[in-house]
A and B are shown apart, each in its own frame.
Chain A
Amino acid sequence: MKANSLLKGLVGAAFLLGAAVSAHAADTLAAVKAAGTLKVGTETAFAPFDYIDAGEHTGLNVDLFAEIGKELGVKIEWVALPWDGVFPALEAGKFDVVAGPATITKKRMERYRFTPPIAEATIAILKKAGDTTISKPEDIAGKTIGVGKATAQLDQLKEFSATLPTKVDVREYPAFTESYADLAAGRIAGVANSLPNIAFVASQRKGTFEVVLPPFGKKSYFGFIGLKDADHAPLMDAIDAAMLKIKADGRMAELQKKWFGASFDTPDAVKDPAF
């Protein structure tokens, strides 16, 4: 008798749990609003989007998600992971969206859903100030260039390298900050990253770093990343709507000016990325 009621209780509990889990899964927007927090995954090593300034987590992402949080009426909770761990953790449901940002690419679009772009992502080279051996992108042929592991910039650099007479010696780093440190220490000749990032680094460390212009490769954009499935559609729709509102009323341009020194035009959505 006792065992029987225990069994019944367990079955009931399992059923309730299952119902709770599936209710959660059905509508992530409702779950986020009910919890009052939007969990955002990021790597905190991608200035000026997301970095640690003497211990403070800061950057364009922090400001922009603060606005998104206001629009959705929720608080923002940050989860910092190494970049190559961010996508697995997104799929494991550790957070609702990835701040990154990530370059919008065809391959990533097959698996993930991107928000409206927040900046241009076209790649350029950062060199040591006063390095006369590199004056245009093609000059990196045969030199050692640092780039982030598991990034779209890595793919672009490799593609560019294949067009050069001597290949680039590509060195991959877990985070871009480490590649900048190696560049400052003279261990590598340059770092390949998206223009907004290296322009910010160069402006922060005048006399140490310089940007090699023009950018090379195909024009691309940065967006935030979420899951593509139906469960996440309401949440991603709400984030998209919030971002487009922030863009329309000029707050986005203000933040771009604050973090990049200039605002620039980005499309409302990238349907067909260049690569």
Chain B
Amino acid sequence: MSIKLFELLLQASIYTVTISVVSILIGFAIAIVISAMLLSRQRLFVLPAQIFISFFRGAPLLVQLLLIYNLLPVIGINVPSIVAAVVGLSLCTAAYQAENLRGGFASVPAGLVESAEMVGMTPIQIFRRIRAPIALRLTFQALVNEAILILKASSLVSVVGIVELTRMAQDLAGSTFLPLEIFASAGLIYLVINWIVALAGGLIERSLPGVPR
């Protein structure tokens, strides 16, 4: 296998990484809103959040991507490939991350919150100093996990016309008849990317405030 083919795989992996990172970040922002709605105890907020989660966690990502790409134009929204890919991945990961966050906030020890109230902290102070740091600390590993899952799931976005790492590997394997070398290289690239994500996640986690170690 030539250097050129490996370079092509690396170029395609830029799409994989960019789409995944952008989707994880957008997904996290949406997840904060959804988890806040879940925790609000107001039916008006809880119900839509539950519907959101059960749809985007329940239907396969492949189906969601095809729906966003092919069905939205029916109601007049014709999204380009890259937008469909990012929207699909973001909404899907948002549903998982919202559940993680909800679990994290629910696990904040009630005693800590009560003590904070006792010393006279305002609800905003309690959120900023007690609940948010602890919840983030509790959900951080799940977030890293989710980032790795999305990096791998991004191989599905070729169905909406993005030539990412997996699709490039398929194209190259088809035209060069070197499937073994090419898929092994693609696997190695995924492995290295995810290894970096896990390593960076570990480093960030150690610097997080929160539960004492």
Contacts and interface: CB of A to CB of B under 8 A. Distances in A.
B66 interface: yes
B5 A54 contact: yes
Interface in A185-224: 185, 205, 208
Interface string A46-58: 0100011111000
A3 interface: no
A92 B163 contact: no
Contacts of A80: 161, 163, 167
Give the interface residue-count category, chain A.
20 to 34
A93 interface: yes
B34 to A, nearest CB: 28
Interface in B63-82: 66, 69-71, 73-74, 76, 78, 81
A181 B161 contact: no
B177 A180 contact: yes
Contacts of B74: 92
A85 B69 CA distance: 10
A16 interface: no
Nearest to B178: A181
B192 interface: no
A85 B63 CA distance: 12
Give chain A's interface secondary structure class. Answer: mixed
A51 B70 contact: no
Interface in B144-162: 158-161
Given A54-B4, A80-B161, A92 B174 contact: no
Contacts of A54: 2, 4-5, 8, 172, 175-176
Nearest to A51: B175
Interface in A164-192: 175, 177-178, 180-181, 184-185
A177 B175 contact: yes
B170 interface: yes
A205 B161 CA distance: 28
Interface of A: 21, 44-45, 47, 51-55, 79-82, 85, 88-89, 91-94, 175, 177-178, 180-181, 184-185, 205, 208
12 contacts: A52-B171, A52-B172, A53-B175, A55-B4, A55-B8, A80-B163, A80-B167, A85-B70, A89-B70, A89-B161, A92-B69, A177-B174
Given A53-B175, A92-B69, 17 more contacts: A51-B171, A55-B168, A79-B81, A81-B161, A82-B159, A85-B159, A89-B70, A92-B73, A94-B78, A94-B81, A175-B170, A177-B170, A177-B171, A178-B170, A178-B174, A180-B177, A181-B177
